[in-house]
Amino acid sequence: MFDTVAVVGATGAVGTIICRMLADRKFPLKHIKFLASSRSAGSTLRFAGRDYVVEEMTPAAFEGVDLAIGSTPDETARDFAPWAVERGCLVVDESGYWRMDPKVPLVVPEVNPEAVEDHHGIIASPNCSTTQMVVAMKPLHDAARIRRVIVSTYQATSGMGLAGSKELDAATRAAVAAEPFKPQAFAHPIAFNLIPQIGSHKEQGYTSEEMKMVYETRKIIGDDSIQVCPTCVRVPVDNCHSESILVETEKKLTVEDARRLFAATPGIIVVDDLAAKSYPMPSNCNGRDEVFIGRIREDISSPNGLAFWCVSDNLRKGAATNAVQIAELLVRKGITARRKGQPVASG
């Protein structure tokens, strides 16, 4: 058990869910504190029937904290994680800043739980689009070794935080009323539209979001030979990311094989009856912690290909749930922070 837990970025879209989940899942702790930027400091949050004043995130705020779960912008995570680790605190970080640091484990508990044992004070949680994909990949890879993945994502506006959700609402109202609208959260109007760019230009015509899926997948699965070809698209859906995934395996898997493997995997729910028009959709996966899989079919263009559709709540399993599950994994394994004063990850 961690005596004192801090939620960093507690007033944000993911941070509020983390707070709620810690209470709902009765995470073992004695004391809790909520940290945020100076803009939110002084506001109150209710946790387990009590009101708490949100504190400003400063180095001193981490004194006496055993575990910090953070959901902040990258540059904020860059600063606060070393502050916490230097004070003997273990950090579970939701941002993208630490994910590819070679000293930082990148963890999805259903996929690579053993990775938490090699932490240097910081444990990273992956990008939301990567998380649901590797959960789906894990049983197939264990059974038949995945060689290649082609994935197209259909990512909800909540992936941009509260600003993204608000912009979808405002843009839709403006479009319906035939009123002009100037986008701010997105590069183009999102209402009744698709934007085939998430993140900045990175390399070879791929975006930063797409390259995250490449590098993070290899790190989590522990296999740098896996080839990943991603296309990430922002869609006018408020919450839950959807993905069309095609995997090529060394050993052939039938639809029946895949359905059996998926159904036996904790954290996966199979919804797959095309004749009955039954398959996962954002509207029926919202607010859930599982990864939903349907439309399972063999690739008619490849002897060892398997295609399927995957939907998950990006604010929960894609972010808050995975972070809380990492914290619960640490408790089960009896893993705590390193000794105070040890050096942090390389950054």
Is residue 148 a part of any domain in this protein? yes
Distances (CA, A) of 106 to 109, 160, 276: 10, 21, 38
- Residue 181, domain CATH: 3.30.360.10
Q: Are residues 115 and 142 in the same domain?
A: no
Q: Are residues 117 and 144 in the same domain?
A: no
- Residue 98, domain CATH: 3.40.50.720
Q: Are residues 83 and 154 in the same domain?
A: no
Distance (Å, whole) CA 122 – CA 101:
10
Distances (CA, A) of 325 to 27, 213, 329, 344: 10, 21, 6, 23
Supply φ then ψ for residue 267, to 5 degrees: 95, -5
Distance (Å, whole) CA 133 – CA 110:
12
Is residue 254 a part of any domain in this protein? yes
- The total number of structural domains in the chain stands at 2
Distance (Å, whole) CA 123 – CA 67:
11
Q: Are residues 13 and 120 in the same domain?
A: yes
pLDDT tens across the length of the chain (347 residues): 799 999 999 999 899 999 999 999 999 999 999 999 999 999 999 999 999 999 999 999 999 999 999 999 999 999 999 999 999 999 999 999 999 999 999 999 999 999 999 999 999 999 999 999 999 999 999 999 999 999 999 999 999 989 999 999 999 999 999 999 999 999 999 999 999 999 999 989 999 999 999 999 999 999 999 999 999 999 999 999 999 999 999 999 999 999 999 999 999 999 999 999 999 999 999 999 999 999 999 999 999 999 999 999 999 999 999 999 999 999 999 998 754 444 555 54
- The count of C-alpha atoms lying within 13 angstroms of the C-alpha of 24, restricted to the half-sphere facing its C-beta, is 11
Is residue 342 a part of any domain in this protein? no
For residue 345, what pLDDT is reported? Answer: 55
Q: Are residues 200 and 273 in the same domain?
A: yes
Site of tokens 């894609």: 318
Distance (Å, whole) CA 134 – CA 189:
31
Torsion angle of C-alpha atoms 123, 213, 36, 17, degrees rounded to 10: -90
Is residue 341 a part of any domain in this protein? no
Q: Are residues 268 and 216 in the same domain?
A: yes
Is residue 256 a part of any domain in this protein? yes
Find the domain containing 109 and state its range: 2-126+320-333
**What 3-state DSSP class applies to 73?**
coil
Q: Are residues 207 and 138 in the same domain?
A: yes
Supply φ then ψ for residue 118, to 5 degrees: -110, 40
What is the number of other CB atoms lying within 10 angstroms of the CB of residue 152?
15
Supply φ then ψ for residue 235, to 5 degrees: -125, 160
Is residue 339 a part of any domain in this protein? no
For residue 34, what pLDDT is reported? Answer: 97
Distances (CA, A) of 228 to 190, 223, 243: 27, 11, 14
Q: Are residues 13 and 139 in the same domain?
A: no
For residue 341, what pLDDT is reported? Answer: 45
**What 3-state DSSP class applies to 204?**
coil
Q: Are residues 105 and 183 in the same domain?
A: no
Is residue 340 a part of any domain in this protein? no
Burial tier of 301 (Cβ tally within 10 Å: 0-12, 13-18, 19+): exposed
The residues carrying an active-site annotation are 128, 241
Cα 94 to chain centroid distance, Å, stands at: 7
Is residue 52 a part of any domain in this protein? yes
Q: Are residues 35 and 61 in the same domain?
A: yes
Distances (CA, A) of 223 to 114, 310, 324: 15, 22, 25
**Positions of E strands within 196-331:** 201-203, 206-207, 227-234, 241-249, 268-270, 291-298, 305-312
Q: Are residues 155 and 289 in the same domain?
A: yes
Q: Are residues 228 and 280 in the same domain?
A: yes
Distances (CA, A) of 231 to 75, 209, 306: 26, 9, 18
